[in-house]
């Protein structure tokens, strides 16, 4: 390290000085990306870095701590890289021996097979005239590797009425079998050929929405809608009206994401394709029905249709379809899933054509691993029957020939046969040059297993490209605001990582991308990844049949196994279900089990029909008794149960809604939503949550604590997030003790009693949630405890600090930050619909703070495009203290500050002049957008002041 620029000893300087120095410095004295070359000695390769040296000496600063940062010249060498070679393994993976007919895993098998070419069958080319796709769209598909399609896709697309949008479609195909392409073609064709129509694509998870957004934006780039030519035969006003109408239409296709936590200002009117989570899609459809713009909708695609069966969110999917069926508009509904068993019944409900494909481009071989022996899964029933009959002196493999055997390990860490098998299979996969995806039952298990596997992973040569890529990944993770997880620091260098919901979105994205690119060979994940982002593997290893405490179901098992096999890279995929003795019978039943039938979630115990009826009445979709009956007849529930029972459930739901003050029976025997009912639907709450929120807000109206923020943070804490948040009573008491008088008064007003908190600390008891009164009490305390985290987020406390302070996963804190935006918007809308204008205004101001993630002094600047709380803080501390100052700024003066937002990227780009120049241009463009946005907001504010 150069003496003039030590990380720990540097001259006092402002952060602005540092950034200007980085921009103006033309001669870079930096280490190459691969790191400083050192003598290749045995001791260096075997010994990990000693504590207190290199990276371990650096104190990373979080948001709000930006003064006196180190000058980043030669420092990035130690800052970015903890070590240049993996430490020596503590133990070795067990050897795997071949059984009769088994073959070794080797890279020669990764040759891949392509789909039948269009030369064999012209209909297997998307360029065929029957599909009617424009040249630009076909070119975009080809650029992304889609030139030919499978026979089943062609057969499905060319079925009568589908490409023309006249018929609905429900279909199922295995994971990796090309389901999404069918829906993409139908959706895009509908939008291109009907320029006034819009599309909604519904996905269950935010990660899937974000992934699909990127894909669709690439696909539609340069593709234009077909605008009809003006007919010269039209006369007078008709011709004038037609010209004005088509002139307003944009030829380009606009794709927008709607999901919790994103701050898009794009509205339903400003988009052509809305990619949504289930909740956002339902709200969009409700709004479109209410304002009579539902006629603009042309196609709705429901991906992961099996989510109809989900106990928490399935009823929302059923609500959407039911409303669309009742409307009988020209709206095509397309539903798809890899795990549907009653496809025909669902198609009957949706009045749709159904299609079932079993084709997989990459076949999967399935195995069961039991006591270090690998058996073909097809013999699972025989395996169990044989195992139960064995005596202590006999051996299972003597009765059933094994596919392969795994040597028992002499290492203590691998004494458990399940762990030994998992490590052996994972290491064998990595050594052969493939990727292994391991599913296990908990977040903690992910981290433990990842660390165990990394200890036995094959080593890399110092200076190899693969090792350099892993070091770069570590540097990227270290540069995140949450810092580098200590377990990942050890496992990534060996080529293993983990992925679960306790991590931040940025961490998961970097880890998933590294695995997909082959930088990481082994990824250990919870089962949520199976239904999340698309990360296939040559070998899927399921470590135990339990996900949490429950046995995994047939649908989830198929989802996990479906990740095996990389199309175009492998000729096959493999799945290994590792089973312990206590679960053997259940696992054998699981392997033989059929997929469960999808059932309605509007049943009385799930209370979904109440929301279905309230939404239909509040949006004006139905009002009279016969109309409500017709609506109910469009539900999946009506198709599933006895008709008299369904009508009985309907009558009970209507009566409950009336008793709760959400609906009224009018003199003309029709039903209408009360103001409260309208507010509940507009805010996208369930009737139960809406009533609870109403009770809380009414109490706030009587005595709202205005001299502090704590009352608002409590009101904005999402109910579902809080109920899943365990309370640490000692931390709760510590936070209560630190509250000022205003904050304590606010929490006492909502029902928090400091004496009760003290009792819980002293007794070590947990909240009882059996009776309605106990459930209500638990909700209050859980929300209050979660509100402390929300307060810290809005006060710019770093996410990692909050996670440590409340002993909660960083991903959970980030989920709170994302979900509170939608919940807060619902609360504000609720107040507006109830005509509580003053309360709505107060809450709306705090909602802006939540979305900005910043204190009040940054709120004005955080409205600007590209300016988040950390960027706003940097701008403010470097002279741009107001929106006016930002609007008057020279964009070139903002570039040095923007470089400080991502110092790692700046350092890396300094190494390559062409990259540095491109990066500087990109930042200048971003700075110009910031100044333009600031000017726009400033002009709008000035206009408002003039009008007042």
Higher-confidence residue: 401 or 503? 503
Q: pLDDT band for position 527 (50/70/90)? A: confident
Q: How far is CA 228 from the centre of its chain?
A: 39
Q: Residue 317's pLDDT is what? A: 93
Residue-level pLDDT at 629? 95
Residue 238 has a pLDDT of 55
Instruction: Select from 794, 933, 914, 812 the least CA-distant residue to 866.
Output: 933
**Of 445, 453, 440, which is closest to residue 544 (Cα–Cα)?**
440
- Distance of alpha carbon 610 from alpha carbon 601, whole angstroms: 12
Span 666-710, pLDDT tens digits: 988 899 999 999 999 999 899 999 999 999 999 888 888 888 889
Q: Where are the alpha helices (DSSP H) in 350-431?
A: 380-389, 396-399, 417-431
- What is the phi/psi pair of residue 369, to 5°? -110, 120
Q: What is the model's pLDDT at position 945?
A: 62
Report CA torsion sign: 310, 528, 173, 534: positive
Average pLDDT of the segment spanning 38-48: 35
Tokens 């600390």 sit at which residue? 761
Work out the pLDDT band at 35, boundaries 50, 70, 90: very low
Whether residue 149 contacts residue 335, with contact meaning beta carbons closer than 8 Å, is answered with no
**Higher model confidence: residue 159 or residue 381?**
159
pLDDT of residue 826 exceeding 60, the answer is yes
Any long-range contacts for 481-489 (C-beta under 8 Å, 24+ apart)? 481/62, 481/63, 481/798, 481/799, 481/800, 481/870, 482/506, 482/507, 482/798, 482/799, 482/800, 482/803, 482/810, 483/60, 483/800, 487/447, 487/450, 487/451, 489/82
Confidence of residue 11 (pLDDT cuts 50, 70, 90): very low
Q: Assess whether pLDDT exceeds 50 at residue 68.
A: no
The predicted structure's pLDDT at residue 20: 41
- Is pTM beyond 0.75? Reply is yes
Name beta bridge partners: 664. Answer: 672
Res. 27: pLDDT tops 70: no
Q: Give the model's pLDDT for residue 869.
A: 60
Residue (of 306, 366, 305) closest to 562 by Cα position: 366
Question: 862 is written with which tokens?
Answer: 């955080």
Question: pLDDT per residue over 315-351, tens digit each?
Answer: 899 999 999 999 988 999 999 998 888 889 999 999 9
- Specify the higher pLDDT residue, 194 or 17: 194
What percent of the chain stands above pLDDT 90?
39
Does residue 613 contact residue 652 with C-beta atoms inside 8 Å? no
Per-residue pLDDT, 348: 94
The C-alpha angle 636, 290, 677, rounded to 5 degrees, equals 75
CA dihedral 909, 914, 920, 922 (to 10 degrees): -100
Average pLDDT over residues 902-916: 55
**pLDDT tens per residue, range 75-91:** 333 334 444 555 677 88
Q: Looking at residue 479, what is its pLDDT?
A: 75
CA distance 609 to 604: 7
- Taking 80 as the threshold, does the pLDDT of residue 566 lie above it? no
Is residue 431 within 8 A of residue 94, CB to CB? The reply is no
Task: Please tell me the predicted confidence (pLDDT) of residue 101.
Answer: 57
Taking 70 as the threshold, does the pLDDT of residue 773 lie above it? yes
CB 549 within 8 A of CB 465: no
Tens digits of per-residue pLDDT, 89-110? 788 888 888 876 566 665 544 4
How many angstroms separate the first and last alpha carbons of the chain? 61
pLDDT for the residue 835 = 93
The domains located in the chain, with CATH, are: 151-356 (3.40.50.300), 364-592 (3.40.50.300), 604-673 (1.10.10), 686-853 (1.10.3380.20)
E-assigned strand segments in 272-360:
273-276, 297-302, 332-337, 352-356
Determine contact, residues 794/853, Cβ cutoff 8 Å: yes
284-288, 386-390, 444-448, 801-805: which range is least confident on average? 386-390
pLDDT (mean) for 475-492: 85
Question: 857 with 849: CB under 8 angstroms?
Answer: no
Render pLDDT for 410-455 as a digit per residue (tens, 0 to 9): 999 999 999 999 999 999 999 988 999 999 988 899 999 999 999 9
Q: Is 264 or 64 the better-scoring residue by pLDDT? A: 264
- Closest to 901 in 3D by CA, of 31, 17, 9, 63: 63
Q: What is the pLDDT of residue 71?
A: 31
Distance CA 269, CA 263 (A): 16
- The mean pLDDT value for 574-581 works out to 88
The DSSP secondary structure of 497-565, one letter per residue, reads EEE-TTS-HHHHHHHHHHHHTTS-SEEEE-GGGGGSS---BSEEEEESSEETTEEPPHHHHHHHHTTB-
Per the prediction, the chain carries an average pLDDT of 80
**What tens digit of pLDDT does each residue of 827-839 get?**
999 999 999 988 8
Measured between alpha carbons, how far is 555 from 536 in angstroms, rounded to an integer? Answer: 17
Compute the distance between CA of residue 712 and CA of residue 775 in angstroms, rounded to an integer. Answer: 22
Q: Which long-range contacts (CB under 8 A, 24 or more apart) does 160-165 make?
A: 161/353, 162/186, 162/353, 163/130, 163/131, 163/132, 163/189, 165/189, 165/190, 165/194, 165/298, 165/299, 165/330, 165/332
The answer on pLDDT for 115 being more than 80 is no
């Amino acid at each position: 390290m150069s003496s003039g620029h030590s990380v720990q000893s540097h001259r006092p300087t402002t952060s602005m000085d540092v950034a200007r120095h980085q921009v103006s410095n033309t001669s870079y004295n930096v280490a190459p990306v691969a790191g400083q070359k050192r003598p290749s000695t045995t001791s260096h390769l075997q010994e990990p870095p000693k504590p207190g040296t290199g990276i371990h000496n650096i104190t990373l600063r979080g948001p709000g701590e930006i003064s006196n940062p180190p000058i980043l010249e030669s420092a990035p060498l130690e800052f970015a890289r903890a070590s240049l070679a993996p430490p020596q393994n503590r133990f070795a993976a067990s050897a795997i021996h071949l059984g009769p007919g088994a073959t070794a895993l080797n890279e020669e098998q990764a040759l891949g097979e392509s789909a039948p070419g269009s030369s064999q069958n012209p209909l297997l080319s998307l360029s065929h005239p029957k599909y009617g796709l424009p040249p630009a769209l076909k070119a975009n598909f080809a650029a992304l590797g889609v030139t030919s399609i499978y026979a089943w896709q062609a057969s499905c697309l060319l079925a009568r009425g589908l490409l023309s949008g006249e018929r609905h479609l429900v279909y199922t195909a295995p994971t990796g079998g090309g389901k999404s392409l069918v829906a993409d073609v139908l959706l895009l064709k509908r939008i291109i050929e009907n320029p006034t129509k819009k599309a909604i694509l519904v996905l269950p998870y935010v990660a899937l929405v974000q992934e699909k957004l990127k894909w669709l934006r690439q696909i539609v780039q340069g593709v234009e809608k077909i605008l009809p030519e003006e007919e010269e035969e039209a006369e007078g006003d008709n011709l004038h009206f037609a010209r004005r109408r088509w002139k307003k239409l944009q030829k380009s296709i606009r794709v927008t994401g709607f999901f919790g936590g994103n701050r898009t200002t794009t509205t339903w009117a400003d988009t052509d394709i809305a990619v949504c989570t289930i909740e956002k899609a339902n709200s969009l459809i409700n709004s479109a029905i209410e304002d009579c713009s539902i006629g603009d909708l042309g196609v709705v695609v429901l991906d992961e249709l099996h989510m109809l069966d989900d106990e928490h969110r399935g009823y929302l999917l059923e609500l959407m379809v039911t409303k669309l069926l009742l409307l009988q508009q020209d709206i095509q509904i397309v539903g798809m899933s890899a795990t549907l068993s009653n496809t025909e019944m669902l198609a009957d409900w949706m009045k749709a054509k159904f299609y079932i494909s079993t084709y997989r481009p990459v076949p999967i071989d399935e195995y069961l691993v039991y006591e270090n022996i690998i058996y073909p899964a097809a013999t699972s029933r025989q395996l169990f029957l044989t195992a139960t009959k064995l005596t202590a002196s006999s051996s299972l493999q003597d009765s059933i020939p094994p596919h392969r055997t795994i040597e028992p390990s002499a290492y203590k860490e691998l004494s458990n046969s399940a762990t030994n098998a998992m490590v052996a299979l994972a290491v064998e996969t990595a050594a052969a040059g493939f990727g292994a995806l391991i599913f296990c039952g908990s977040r903690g298990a992910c981290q433990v297993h990842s660390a165990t596997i990394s200890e036995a992973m094959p080593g890399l040569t110092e200076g190899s490209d693969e090792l350099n890529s892993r070091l770069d990944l570590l540097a990227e993770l270290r540069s995140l605001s949450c810092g580098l997880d200590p377990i990942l620091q050890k496992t990534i260098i060996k080529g293993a990582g983990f992925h679960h919901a306790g991590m931040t979105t940025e961490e998961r994205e970097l880890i998933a991308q590294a695995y997909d690119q082959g930088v990481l060979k082994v990824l250990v994940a919870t089962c949520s990844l199976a239904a999340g982002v698309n990360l296939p593997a040559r070998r899927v290893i399921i470590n135990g049949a339990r996900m949490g405490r429950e046995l995994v179901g047939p649908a989830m098992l198929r989802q996990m196994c479906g990740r095996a096999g990389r199309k175009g890279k492998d000729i096959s995929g493999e799945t290994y279900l590792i089973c312990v003795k206590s679960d053997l019978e259940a696992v054998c039943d699981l392997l033989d089990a059929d997929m469960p039938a999808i059932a309605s979630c509007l049943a009385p115990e799930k209370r979904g029909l109440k929301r279905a009826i309230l939404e239909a009445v509040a949006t004006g979709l139905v009002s009279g008794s016969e109309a409500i009956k017709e609506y109910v007849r469009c539900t999946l529930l009506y198709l599933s149960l006895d008709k008299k029972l369904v009508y009985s459930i309907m009558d009970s739901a209507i009566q409950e809604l009336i008793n709760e003050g959400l609906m009224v029976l009018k003199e003309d025997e029709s039903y209408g939503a009360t103001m409260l009912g309208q507010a509940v639907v507009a805010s996208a709450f369930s009737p139960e949550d809406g009533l609870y929120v109403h009770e809380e807000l009414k109490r706030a109206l009587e005595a709202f604590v205005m001299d502090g923020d704590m009352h608002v943070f409590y009101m904005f804490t999402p109910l579902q997030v809080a109920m899943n948040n365990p309370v640490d009573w000692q931390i709760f008491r510590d936070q209560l003790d630190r509250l000022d008088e205003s904050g304590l008064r606010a929490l006492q007003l909502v029902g928090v009693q400091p004496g009760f908190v003290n009792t819980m600390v002293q007794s070590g008891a947990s909240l009882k949630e059996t009776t309605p009164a106990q459930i209500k009490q638990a909700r209050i305390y859980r929300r209050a405890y979660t509100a402390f985290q929300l307060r810290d987020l809005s006060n710019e406390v770093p996410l990692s600090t909050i996670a440590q302070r409340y002993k909660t996963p960083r991903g959970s804190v980030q989920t709170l930050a994302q979900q509170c935006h939608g919940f807060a918007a619902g609360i504000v809308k609720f107040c507006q619909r109830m005509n509580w204008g003053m309360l709505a205004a107060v809450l709306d101001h705090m909602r802006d703070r939540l979305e900005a993630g910043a204190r009040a002094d940054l709120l004005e600047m955080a409205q600007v495009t590209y300016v988040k709380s950390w960027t706003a803080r940097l701008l403010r501390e470097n002279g741009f203290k107001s929106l006016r100052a930002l609007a008057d700024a020279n964009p070139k003066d903002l570039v040095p500050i923007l470089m400080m937002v991502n110092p790692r990227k700046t350092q890396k780009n300094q190494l390559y002049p062409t990259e540095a120049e491109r990066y500087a241009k990109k930042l200048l463009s971003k700075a110009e957008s910031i100044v333009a946005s600031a000017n726009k907001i400033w002009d709008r504010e000035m206009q408002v002041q003039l009008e007042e």
